[in-house]
Structure 1
Amino acid sequence: MKKVSLLFVSLAMLLCFQLGSASAETVLEHTVDELVGTKYKYAGMSPETGFDCSGFTKYVFAKFGYELTHQSKAQNKEGYWIPKEDLRQGDLVFFNTDGSGISHVGIYLGDGVFIHSATDKGIVKNNLSEKYYVKTYVSARRILWDDLYNQLTADYTN
């Protein structure tokens, strides 16, 4: 009976630890969550004035020492192409929103969610499975080497 009780207590503790780590916020999530709601501004690159899409991605990655250009088409040449099914947190996702090729960029956060600067709402999170983004999705690029990826996806601690 003691062995069974000990087993149940051990399993319960393991489950609690697993649940806690699954819901932990990463450094990247903490960084971008602080910017949600920041207004859209054409050519904007700061929380004070607002962001356009590539200004937002440039700003976020600069905080971690990675320099991006300030144009979605140019950012689509950074790193290397990856298939949509292999997306991981920190990858850049690109869209054709105006019919002329790459015209929008966001940062993939995981579980189908990405964050970006929308012209009508500012910094928001959306799901890649939403009809509009399914229709306009073009490609994804991986720009983070392993050390920086591990830094950005580590659990955030105060």
Structure 2
Amino acid sequence: MKTKKLVAAMLFIGLCLVSQAQTTQTKSSDPDNLAKEYFSQIMGVAVNATTNTKLYQFVYEWIGTPYRLGGDSKRGIDCSKFSLAVYENVFNTTIGYNSRNQYANVTTVQKNDLQAGDLVFFKIRSKSITHVGVYLGDNQFAHASSSKGVMVSNLDEAYWRRYYFSGGRPKVDQDRVMMANIGSDEDDNLN
């Protein structure tokens, strides 16, 4: 008799717990919140910093794409073409075609004021800008690495901290198209 009461009590408690879990799950099943939680885990960005789900989804779809200098497709892409693709597809804005050109068309932003979607620029063993990425939040940025392809890295990693130059927010004209800097043919070969 005591066993039956004990089993009945356990079943009742279990039913209550399941009911509570389903109620909690219904509250968090908002698709935007689920997407933010998912991308937060994948990219190492705090949930409260994942403000632009479209940006994170676009980056996620490109992660692992191999690096190819001058490439602009999922078969291979370089850093400036990747940032260009992000801006064209996520922000409906065209930016410059190489990292120097992109830098020439931004308003600089202090590192601690970066927001998701801002560009981050690097001078890697050079006096000129040689690399660009797209800031995601929490010091994470997406970029096309020459060694690993499209990936997410942390600005606090020693390598990136060493070569970090500046952050910037694109200047946009009335047609939502950045003005391209006309430079020498040498500039066109930069990524």
TM-score bracket, normalised by the shorter chain, equals: 0.7 to 0.9
Please name the residue that 1:52 is paired with: 78
2:157 matched to 1:130? yes
Q: CA deviation at 1:46?
A: 1.3
8 Å Cα contact 2:133/2:144 also seen in 1: yes
8 Å Cα contact 2:144/2:151 also seen in 1: yes
Higher relative contact order structure (alpha carbons within 8 Å, sequence separation ≥ 6): 1
**Correspondences of 1:8-47 after superposition (within 5 Å):** 21=33, 23=37, 25=39, 26-47=53-74
Q: Give a deviation string over 1:12-50, Cα, whole Å, max 9, x none.
A: x7xx75xx84626411000111000000000111113x1
Instruction: Return the TM-score normalized by structure 1.
Output: 0.75
**Runs of 4 or more off by more than 3 Å in structure 1?**
none
Q: CA deviation at 1:78?
A: 1.6
Q: CA deviation at 1:98?
A: 2.8
2:108 matched to 1:81? yes
Q: Which has the larger radius of gyration?
A: 2
Please name the residue that 1:153 is paired with: none
Q: CA deviation at 1:143?
A: 2.0
**Letter of the structure 1 residue corresponding to residue 124 of structure 2:** T
Q: Distance in 2 between matches of 1:46 and 1:70?
A: 14
Report the 3-state secondary structure (helix = DSSP H, G, I; strand = E; otherwise coil) of the residue aligned with 2:65: coil
Q: Distance in 1 between matches of 2:38 and 2:114?
A: 20
Please name the residue that 1:61 is paired with: 87
Number of residues of Structure 1 aligned to a counterpart in Structure 2: 132
Instruction: Return the TM-score normalized by structure 2.
Output: 0.63
Report percent identity of matched pairs.
Answer: 35
Q: Distance in 2 between matches of 1:58 and 1:44?
A: 12
Structure (1/2) with the larger helix percentage = 2
**Letter of the structure 1 residue corresponding to residue 82 of structure 2:** F
8 Å Cα contact 1:37/1:122 also seen in 2: yes
8 Å Cα contact 2:105/2:171 also seen in 1: no
2:140 matched to 1:113? yes
Q: Distance in 2 between matches of 1:126 and 1:91?
A: 15
- RMSD in angstroms over aligned alpha carbons? 2.4
Report the 3-state secondary structure (helix = DSSP H, G, I; strand = E; otherwise coil) of the residue aligned with 2:62: coil
